[in-house]
Chains A and B, each alone.
Chain A
């Protein structure tokens, strides 16, 4: 059983998640009309044997999309974080706030 440590919910079983896709793929911008760029982004995959960056959806949990680093040979999961940078930032802000609060509390 794969288990993902969701940064929002904690350690949860694979059952709760849906695999989305290879997270290393960068879609071209909508202004980019080059057929080659779109073809490569839509159809070609590195398909790595080893550490793979991918998106998972915590569909039966917080419903956040997560960025996961997982080894496709061993299934060892080395990193799980919020996929969207602004959520990553917000999480770290919240963690900092929590630390400040507990520090302040411990002084009083």
Chain B
């Protein structure tokens, strides 16, 4: 009767002594990597080690926006590949990840913003990525209840739309990948913190964990905000990464109010909002702005995001906030990620997702699995390396330079 008789979606095995591949980190990136290793490369003797519970990190804490409106080489092909995987993901996993292509509307308020975005969206279109320009009237028709006052300090002049973008249900993505990977033979081991590395003849051959030692031929790491801490233990040295926290907010559930993702960013604020299927308004803004490993946010951003919300959507002023939280972001020096081999043989790195790595989950797992299986990157992630800075080829979408807090 009722909700009884549900079988667990994935097995709960004890760790074995040895695997072909260990993936450290049970966020979306680690889970997707394990799944594609098993599904596409026939490597099923895989352990995924997660210190807490899967999806307890950023993959279960984000505002779930999925898009591919990137314009710098290195990012374009990668994010579009990821978006294409999203489009078939529920079928592939046989799990409803509630991917909803409700569109992503990027507002602009000044001619300068318009021109910069026009350049971005034109380059996207040349790369086969969808993007449309909307003037003020078209934006008003699409989302009638924004602040269109001529008196507002910066009136909305128009927007750019990626219609294929949207949102997905974060927990479903984590659980869907976990179930599919487990079914193919991957051991998903929770409450298993990696505390050190076992080295033999200069090579990493395994990990020390809170549940004993585990060996493997190859080890891939996808631990987001904890990357620098583990990398130092592995002997990778300092990385081009800083850990910063990002907050998100959700309101009490309300009736259907917003059927697309509305975003703006530049100069006078940074804000993004959508409505979840449960009715909550899900929104966020900038990083708190200082290095942090604490998963809790601070008041200045709280007020900043609230004023950004009131700026474009004054109707929100009366709704109550239900929850607010923060996650630890692996902010890279150019705002772009790493899916790469390292200078330690058999040790692979997946990191630098900044605050845009939810949309990347399918593409990242796909590319990381390929890189681990073949010991070389796929063409799609071949530019997402650690050595790009030393070679002077940063992938800097926002043009902010080597300041992680600004990306």
Chain A residues near B (Cβ < 8 Å): 1-2, 14-15, 18-19, 21-22, 35, 39-40, 42-49, 52, 54, 70, 72-75
Contact = CB atoms under 8 A, between A and B. Distances in A.
A54 B240 CA distance: 17
Contacts of B80: none
Contacts of B403: 21
Contacts of B241: 45, 47
A19 B405 CA distance: 9
A42 B402 contact: yes
Contacts of B240: 43-45
B243 A47 contact: yes
B242 A2 contact: no
Nearest to B237: A44
B402 A14 contact: no
Contacts of B402: 42-43
Contact of B242 (A14, A18, A35, A45): A45
**Central interface residue in B239, B289, B293, B333, by most chain A CB within 10 Å:** B293
B333 A14 contact: no
A72 B228 contact: no
Nearest to B226: A49
Interface residues of B, number: 26
A15 B241 CA distance: 25
Nearest to B227: A47
B257 interface: no
8 contacts: A19-B290, A42-B389, A45-B228, A47-B238, A48-B291, A54-B290, A72-B294, A73-B294
A46 B238 contact: yes
A1 to B, nearest CB: 5
Contacts of A18: 289
Contacts of A54: 290-291
Contacts of A44: 237-240
Interface in B28-64: none
A16 to B, nearest CB: 10
Interface in B284-301: 289-294, 298-300
Contacts of A39: 389-390
Given A1-B299, A15-B300, A39-B390, A45 B289 contact: no
Contacts of A75: 292, 294
A47 B290 contact: no
Contacts of B228: 45-49
A40 B333 CA distance: 12
B229 interface: yes
A40 B298 CA distance: 31
Contacts of A46: 228, 232, 238
B229 A49 contact: yes
A74 B237 contact: no
Interface string B366-407: 000000000000000000000001100000000000111100
Interface in B252-311: 289-294, 298-300
B333 A43 contact: yes
**Central interface residue in A19, A49, A73, by most chain B CB within 10 Å:** A49
B300 A14 contact: yes
**Central interface residue in A18, A22, A46, by most chain B CB within 10 Å:** A46
The 7 closest A-B pairs by CB, nearest first: A47-B228, A19-B290, A44-B238, A43-B389, A43-B240, A49-B293, A73-B293
A73 B292 CA distance: 6
B399 to A, nearest CB: 16
B230 to A, nearest CB: 10
A44 B402 CA distance: 10
A4 to B, nearest CB: 11
A33 B390 CA distance: 14
B22 to A, nearest CB: 22
A75 B228 CA distance: 18
A1 B389 contact: no
B198 to A, nearest CB: 22
B407 to A, nearest CB: 13
**Central interface residue in B292, B333, B403, by most chain A CB within 10 Å:** B292
